[in-house]
Chains A and B, each alone.
Chain A
Amino acid sequence: MPEPVLKLERITKRFGGLTVLSSVDLQVDANQIVGLIGPNGAGKSTLFNVVTALYRPEEGIVFLDGKRITGAPPHRICRLGVARTFQLVRTYLTMTARENVMVAAVYGGGAMADAGRACDEALELVGLAASRDLITEHMTLSARRLLEMARALASRPRVILLDEPMAGLNASEIEEMIQVIRRARDERGLSVLWVEHKVDAIMRVCDRVVVLDHGVKISDGTPAETIVNPKVIEAYLGEPSS
């Protein structure tokens, strides 16, 4: 069996007395899009923060291509090949779109000599090539979400973690984002771990879906398996579909 690109082993994260992640195992194989869903507060963003070293887990290990990366600082994690976007968009507001992406192209771990090209290709892939000289402060939410995506791609990662890339987008923008995620996988051969509340989009696009509830993994399988899993139905019962 080939090595999974990203593998989490028994990740436990506590804040004071509150256990937010309990012994979560998860893996993302090469070239796969894996969805990560779960009710509000399930621990999805916390899981991303543990993988990208913004939080230190109490227990557990994260492997990238079989190599342990837990303990490395956030910038090293990026350079090793894990890029991410944020649930609440985080762009460099005073910079132009292209400068935003250049930060990741220059510092994200790819060859410095190719930084300019990587930057322009990433802008091209997300469809922002024409907006490259816009100051980010003046860009719409959906453009900023795409910009974050371009920034993640420009660091030339092995895997990208997307934290609700569709939050706040309208129907046509959601379709556009789906195309971008697919293109990232197909053209770049990337692996994707994707947190989303738009469950229908997840079910349409993902190869596998993992469900978290109160920090516990309650389901892991194909979209078809996931929607009939009684535990998943129970976790979502009474949840407003968003």
Chain B
Amino acid sequence: MTREKRIIGLSAIIVAALALLPFVPGAADSYLFFLLYLFFLYTIIGQAWNLVAGYTGQISLGQHAFFGLGAYTAALVWSRGLFGAEHVYYFDPLTLIASGLVAAAFALVIGFPLLSKLRGDYFALGTLGFGEIVRVAFVKGGSYTGGPFGIVLPSSLYESLRPHYWLGLGLAAGLTLLIFWIRRSSLGLALVAIRDDEMAASSNGVNVLKYKLVAFALGAFFTGMAGCLQAYYLFHVSPEGFLNLNWTLYPILIAVIGGSGTVLGPVIGALAVTVVFSYANIFFPELHPIFSGLAIILVMLFMPNGIMRLRFRGRA
């Protein structure tokens, strides 16, 4: 218990220090600042997958669809002025929430048939198929979605990376805190029961489909908001940039490397992935994917349960 309190205290201090960092002169212009932004973005998508797969045991391979749906929601709402011409869309809470909600709504609509009919690998394949359908739909969306080129947003609004950084930090810390709370709540009991033994869970009164849907939609909600955040950074939402399978692979790597089914695992994993990717980018720009892939294989070989679970070794 005291150990846990120390970790909570330390985390709070780190988050506070990170929140104050942009006030340090020059900090916001450094490469490190951009890396921290990426770290936050990776933490959000990693934690979202962690909630669905790590805690509830449902392997989703369609996270890129939710990331893309969130980004496209922001882009469409903004470029078409759907909330009114006077509305400020850049870093607008309403647009951000709408991105999350659209992704979550799709998760419910697609999750209902998939989760009630398919289990395990078949659910994973179903979500992969869903991701592909969404990608093709946006590519073929004609003038409405901008087709393969996508939608360009007014990048003249960009002043600095600070708002992205703060929003990313807030979402990453908020989602991590939410997962910490869920783990202790009765919702967490249901999710872990489903992961550990679905048949026992239903025989103990847990409405398995309902709680799978809750986890899936919650994960999609945060992934959608991450997509919106990234749209605010790139000002260009395209199938290539947002409905790319990487946005499903990254969260899996992040959660697995750090330790899925733990509260802090994806945070550690996101940090590791950010470092590995950026070094690979600097030293072997062409070989980046190979280098990154290799790092991941090594981690999985030597730390099959993730960094967070290393300390439990030898206990079981």
A106-B186 in contact (CB<8A): yes
**Number of residue pairs across A and B with beta carbons under 8 Å?**
78
Residues 111-136 of B, flagged 1 when their CB comes within 8 A of A and 0 if not, give 00000000000000000000000000
B200-A92 in contact (CB<8A): yes
Give the distance in Å from the alpha carbon of A86 to the alpha carbon of B199 in the complex.
10
| A-side contacts of B206, CB under 8 Å | 75, 103, 107
Residues 204-218 of B, flagged 1 when their CB comes within 8 A of A and 0 if not, give 111110000000000
Instruction: Confirm or deny: A231 has a beta carbon within 8 angstroms of a beta carbon on chain B.
Output: no
Contact of B202 among A74, A106, A138, A155 (CB under 8 A): A74
A155-B205 CB under 8 A given contacts A99-B189, A103-B189: yes
A103-B193 in contact (CB<8A): yes
Total A residues in contact with B, Cβ cutoff 8 Å: 28
Give the distance in Å from the alpha carbon of A90 to the alpha carbon of B201 in the complex.
9
| A-side contacts of B208, CB under 8 Å | 75
A137-B316 CB under 8 A given contacts A54-B199, A92-B193, A106-B186: yes
Instruction: Confirm or deny: A131 has a beta carbon within 8 angstroms of a beta carbon on chain B.
Output: no
| B-side contacts of A73, CB under 8 Å | 202, 207
| B-side contacts of A137, CB under 8 Å | 316
Give the distance in Å from the alpha carbon of A151 to the alpha carbon of B193 in the complex.
12
B205-A107 in contact (CB<8A): yes
Give the distance in Å from the alpha carbon of A103 to the alpha carbon of B211 in the complex.
13
Instruction: Confirm or deny: B267 has a beta carbon within 8 angstroms of a beta carbon on chain A.
Output: no
Give the distance in Å from the alpha carbon of A75 to the alpha carbon of B207 in the complex.
6
Contact of A94 among B192, B199, B200, B205 (CB under 8 A): B192
Residues 256-267 of B, flagged 1 when their CB comes within 8 A of A and 0 if not, give 000001000000
B200-A109 in contact (CB<8A): no
Instruction: Confirm or deny: A78 has a beta carbon within 8 angstroms of a beta carbon on chain B.
Output: yes
The closest CB in chain A to the CB of B211 belongs to: A107
B202-A91 in contact (CB<8A): no
Instruction: Confirm or deny: A84 has a beta carbon within 8 angstroms of a beta carbon on chain B.
Output: yes
Please list the 6 inter-chain residue pairs (A to B) with the smallest Cβ-Cβ separation, ordered nearest first.
A107-B205, A92-B196, A108-B205, A74-B202, A90-B200, A78-B205
30 interchain pairs (CB within 8 A)?
A: A52-B203, A54-B202, A74-B202, A75-B202, A75-B205, A75-B208, A78-B203, A78-B205, A90-B200, A91-B197, A92-B196, A92-B201, A93-B197, A94-B192, A94-B196, A95-B189, A95-B192, A99-B192, A102-B186, A102-B189, A103-B193, A103-B201, A103-B204, A103-B206, A106-B186, A107-B189, A107-B204, A137-B316, A155-B204, A155-B205
B interface with A by C-beta (< 8 Å): 186, 189-190, 192-193, 195-197, 199-208, 261, 316
